[in-house]
A and B are shown apart, each in its own frame.
Chain A
Amino acid sequence: MSDAKIKVSIKNLYKIFGTEPQSYLEAVKQGLSKSDLKEKHNHVLGLKDINVDMREGEITVIMGLSGSGKSTLIRHLNRLIEPTDGEILVDGEDVLAYSDDQLRQLRRSRMSMVFQKFALLPHRTVLDNAGMAPRVRGDAKASIEQEARRWLDRVGLKGFENSYPHQLSGGMQQRVGLARALTSNAPIMLMDEAFSALDPLIRTSMQDLLLELQKDLHKTIIFITHDLDEALKLADHLVILKDGYVVQQGEPQHILLNPNDPYIEDFVADINRARVLRVGSVMTDAAHASHEPDGVVQARDSLESVIALAEGDTNKAYRVEDKGQVVGHLEMRDLVRALVRPQAPEDGVRAS
């Protein structure tokens, strides 16, 4: 966990869908269950007591299956959906207290958004689409075009400026969506299942693109996904949502090794652990070294890369370094043990 400043903070957020959400709020706080609320009162519990801090310059991934409330949650941040109760703080300011005007300013220059279904303007060119945010703000025309071109170039769409969205493939359309969010120059970027509609290969290349951009830009990104691989690849901070409440949140490696709920164990069971786990998560203290290390590995390396380095030999051991400092020791035996996947729990989701 880093000590970066908290950029966005959600506190005790509740959302109840229905005609009279306020009248059931107290009952929900007292523990009225989602199914009871639906059956007896015909209201739907969208979100229940959400508390998440999102740090500046980090990617916070909110993961959950469909119906878990993740898309509802991200829409609360820029108030596309109004909460029933709770607080949303951006830079320490309560967004819920904003007037319409302040809210518009927030959406225009402090928070941008990328959508699952791209949501580009079909009657505008790629260049116009990319320049949407500054155009809405009313920036000077020349600077809008320059910025839009710069970001289109950056996401690899040079030469497509005058095309229309329908002339592009899905992956390219989402690059336009990404360029549109970047052109807004907002420090916070909301990504609602941004890559879920894309083919696996294109999805991977978009994830790489996002990580590469993030290296330079250090934006505060809130990323929604239903795909654990994607979540683990991108997340600095992982929040797992189920039926509208947070099941577990924290550092992704930590959640992977210490799932605290059968629901999460279920998720984790199918993961390629060698690719996801990093040396830093399974190493031991340097003092425990039983014999001389056969080489040096980095704490951020994946276990897969270490196995390749050791050529599968389980008798080897490595010194672990991070930024030139020795931080630990890795025995190949420990590494292999960490790869053994836990069984899917009997009472888990897939048991039913």
Chain B
Amino acid sequence: MATYDFLFNSLGLRDWCDAHAGEKITGLAALLKKTKGESVTWQETPFPSLNALNDACGAIPRSGDFTRMLETGFLDIRGALKLVLDPLTQPLSWMLDGALTLFGAIPWFILVPLLLIAALLVSRSIQIVVFMIISFAMLLFVDHFEMTVETLSIISVCTVICVVLGLPIGIAMSKNDRVQNAIIPVLDMLQTLPTFVYLIPLIFLFSITEPKLYGIAIILYAIVPVIRLTNLGIRLVDKDVKEAADAFGMSDMQKLLGVEIPLALPNIMAGVNQTIMMSLAMVVIASLVSAPGLGERVLQGINNNELGVGFIAGFGIVLIAIILDRVSKAALSRVNAAHH
């Protein structure tokens, strides 16, 4: 005797229920009660959930059926989705593979000076370069440099793609309130969704051996700040200056390239800095879906309970984080100095 029998009896649906009843699955608790011959007391009245209704009427699906339905539904459209998304995202795999092979092929005694020179050009700061020399020396010393380079290659590819995609999106948002209102909830969702959760559909869609799987995960997570701050930066451009640009007959493109983007640059650069830091955070988590680099070692440390392995890799990540943050902030403050 189930709690909600009366509902179906009174609606005259009893016959329909019995005719369509699937295999009756009874929960363990209910089974126990049945064997003991206890009836359900009023304190135990269940919420009319799918499971409770199924007890009364076999034709109603159980909660487990519902999740299974979602899964089969997703699997059904998977083929079609793959057909569209696969070729679209294939270049990402090539770029990631290319970057990993390219940077992996350069010997350390060439790559380290190259990175130092690049950092010096961007930041114009000797202190940062000295810090980098010490950090790289430590990583090389404990044989973690190869993994560091892998992590850096993934971050650089993903950051470039984030900027290339994020800038136009941010600009479109700044020009049109409707576009802004449509995109902001998506950005909010990407930022609040636990990072593991959007790995799930990606695992279904793409093979776990493909680099684009973690590439997409990183980009989705890290693109948000560059979009937000481009939008904000352009909206914050002094409206008197925008008006002057209009008054002297600038076309939309002249205004965008000659006035809005240059004046929004401090904000855009702040967005790029955030994007770099978020790709670093995600590249560690993405080691769950076979992203190479220092994150892989951290994962290994967790899985095998190897404290030392996880600790050293984690320390390496901290060093990279400091370097990336300092270099991009130094570039940002140079932009700021040029403005005021």
**A residues adjacent to B (C-beta < 8 A):** 78, 80, 103-109, 111-113, 115, 117-123, 132-133, 136-137, 166, 180, 184, 190
* Closest CB pairs A-B (n = 4): A107-B249, A108-B249, A119-B244, A119-B240
- Residue B128, interface by CB 8 Å: no
A76: shortest Cβ distance to chain B, in Å?
A: 12
- Residue B263, interface by CB 8 Å: yes
Q: A115-B244, A166-B340 are in contact. Are A121 and B250 (CB under 8 A)?
A: no
B19: shortest Cβ distance to chain A, in Å?
A: 59
Q: Which of B216-265 contact A (CB under 8 A)?
A: 238, 240-241, 243-244, 246-251, 254, 258-259, 262-263
Cβ contacts under 8 Å, B251 to chain A: 104
> Once bound together, how far apart are the Cα atoms of A20 and B247, in whole Å?
26
Cβ contacts under 8 Å, A122 to chain B: 241, 263, 339-340
Cβ contacts under 8 Å, B339 to chain A: 122-123
Question: 1/0 per residue B308-340: CB within 8 Å of A?
Answer: 000000000000000000000000000000111
> Once bound together, how far apart are the Cα atoms of A115 and B248, in whole Å?
12
Cβ contacts under 8 Å, A112 to chain B: 247-248
Q: A136-B254, A166-B340 are in contact. Are A121 and B241 (CB under 8 A)?
A: yes
A261: shortest Cβ distance to chain B, in Å?
A: 32
Among A104, A111, A119, A133, the residue within 8 A (CB) of B238 is A119
Q: A123-B263, A123-B338, A123-B339 are in contact. Are A115 and B243 (CB under 8 A)?
A: yes
User: Do residues A123 and B240 form an inter-chain contact, with CB atoms below 8 A?
Assistant: no
Among A107, A166, A190, the residue within 8 A (CB) of B246 is A107
If over half of B's interface residues share one DSSP class (helix, strand or loop), that class is named, otherwise mixed; here it is helix
Q: A121-B259, A122-B263, A123-B263 are in contact. Are A113 and B249 (CB under 8 A)?
A: no
Pull 20 A–B residue pairs with CB atoms less than 8 Å apart, ordered by A.
A80-B243, A103-B249, A106-B249, A108-B249, A111-B247, A112-B247, A115-B243, A115-B244, A115-B247, A118-B240, A119-B241, A121-B259, A121-B262, A121-B263, A122-B241, A122-B340, A123-B338, A132-B244, A136-B248, A137-B249
B241: shortest Cβ distance to chain A, in Å?
A: 5
Cβ contacts under 8 Å, B258 to chain A: 121
Among B238, B247, B259, B263, the residue within 8 A (CB) of A78 is B247
> Once bound together, how far apart are the Cα atoms of A78 and B246, in whole Å?
9
B253: shortest Cβ distance to chain A, in Å?
A: 11
User: Do residues B244 and A113 form an inter-chain contact, with CB atoms below 8 A?
Assistant: yes
* Nearest opposing residue in chain A for B340, CB measure: A166
Cβ contacts under 8 Å, B241 to chain A: 119-122
Cβ contacts under 8 Å, B254 to chain A: 136
> Once bound together, how far apart are the Cα atoms of A79 and B2, in whole Å?
75
Q: Which of B238, B248, B258 has the most CB of A within 10 A?
A: B248
User: Do residues A113 and B248 form an inter-chain contact, with CB atoms below 8 A?
Assistant: yes
A-B contact count (CB 8 A): 61
B243: shortest Cβ distance to chain A, in Å?
A: 6
User: Do residues B262 and A80 form an inter-chain contact, with CB atoms below 8 A?
Assistant: no
> Once bound together, how far apart are the Cα atoms of A51 and B258, in whole Å?
37
Among B238, B249, B250, B263, the residue within 8 A (CB) of A105 is B249
A205: shortest Cβ distance to chain B, in Å?
A: 23
> Once bound together, how far apart are the Cα atoms of A268 and B240, in whole Å?
32
* Nearest opposing residue in chain B for A104, CB measure: B249
B140: shortest Cβ distance to chain A, in Å?
A: 41
> Once bound together, how far apart are the Cα atoms of A111 and B246, in whole Å?
12
Among B238, B247, B340, the residue within 8 A (CB) of A113 is B247
Cβ contacts under 8 Å, B340 to chain A: 122, 166
User: Do residues B249 and A117 form an inter-chain contact, with CB atoms below 8 A?
Assistant: no
A25: shortest Cβ distance to chain B, in Å?
A: 25
Other than A121-B259, A121-B263, give 11 A-B pairs with Cβ distance below 8 A. Answer: A104-B249, A107-B246, A115-B240, A115-B243, A117-B240, A119-B241, A120-B241, A122-B340, A123-B339, A132-B244, A133-B249
Cβ contacts under 8 Å, B243 to chain A: 80, 115, 119
> Once bound together, how far apart are the Cα atoms of A284 and B244, in whole Å?
48
Q: Which of B246, B254, B340 has the most CB of A within 10 A?
A: B246
> Once bound together, how far apart are the Cα atoms of A80 and B238, in whole Å?
16
User: Do residues B263 and A132 form an inter-chain contact, with CB atoms below 8 A?
Assistant: no
Q: Which of B243, B249, B258, B259 has the most CB of A within 10 A?
A: B249
User: Do residues B249 and A80 form an inter-chain contact, with CB atoms below 8 A?
Assistant: no
A248: shortest Cβ distance to chain B, in Å?
A: 29
* Nearest opposing residue in chain A for B240, CB measure: A119
Cβ contacts under 8 Å, B240 to chain A: 115, 117-119
* Nearest opposing residue in chain A for B242, CB measure: A119
Cβ contacts under 8 Å, A80 to chain B: 243, 246-247
Among B238, B246, B248, B338, the residue within 8 A (CB) of A132 is B248
> Once bound together, how far apart are the Cα atoms of A190 and B248, in whole Å?
11
> Once bound together, how far apart are the Cα atoms of A317 and B136, in whole Å?
95
Cβ contacts under 8 Å, A120 to chain B: 241, 244
User: Do residues A133 and B259 form an inter-chain contact, with CB atoms below 8 A?
Assistant: no
Cβ contacts under 8 Å, A108 to chain B: 248-249
Q: Which of A103, A123, A180, A184 has the most CB of B within 10 A?
A: A123
* Nearest opposing residue in chain A for B241, CB measure: A119
User: Do residues B246 and A136 form an inter-chain contact, with CB atoms below 8 A?
Assistant: no
> Once bound together, how far apart are the Cα atoms of A80 and B339, in whole Å?
27
> Once bound together, how far apart are the Cα atoms of A120 and B242, in whole Å?
10
* Nearest opposing residue in chain A for B265, CB measure: A123
Cβ contacts under 8 Å, A136 to chain B: 248-250, 254
Cβ contacts under 8 Å, A190 to chain B: 247
> Once bound together, how far apart are the Cα atoms of A111 and B241, in whole Å?
17
> Once bound together, how far apart are the Cα atoms of A118 and B263, in whole Å?
16
A155: shortest Cβ distance to chain B, in Å?
A: 17
Cβ contacts under 8 Å, B250 to chain A: 136
> Once bound together, how far apart are the Cα atoms of A156 and B55, in whole Å?
92
User: Do residues B249 and A123 form an inter-chain contact, with CB atoms below 8 A?
Assistant: no
* Nearest opposing residue in chain B for A100, CB measure: B251
User: Do residues B248 and A184 form an inter-chain contact, with CB atoms below 8 A?
Assistant: yes
* Nearest opposing residue in chain A for B335, CB measure: A123
User: Do residues B247 and A123 form an inter-chain contact, with CB atoms below 8 A?
Assistant: no
> Once bound together, how far apart are the Cα atoms of A104 and B238, in whole Å?
21
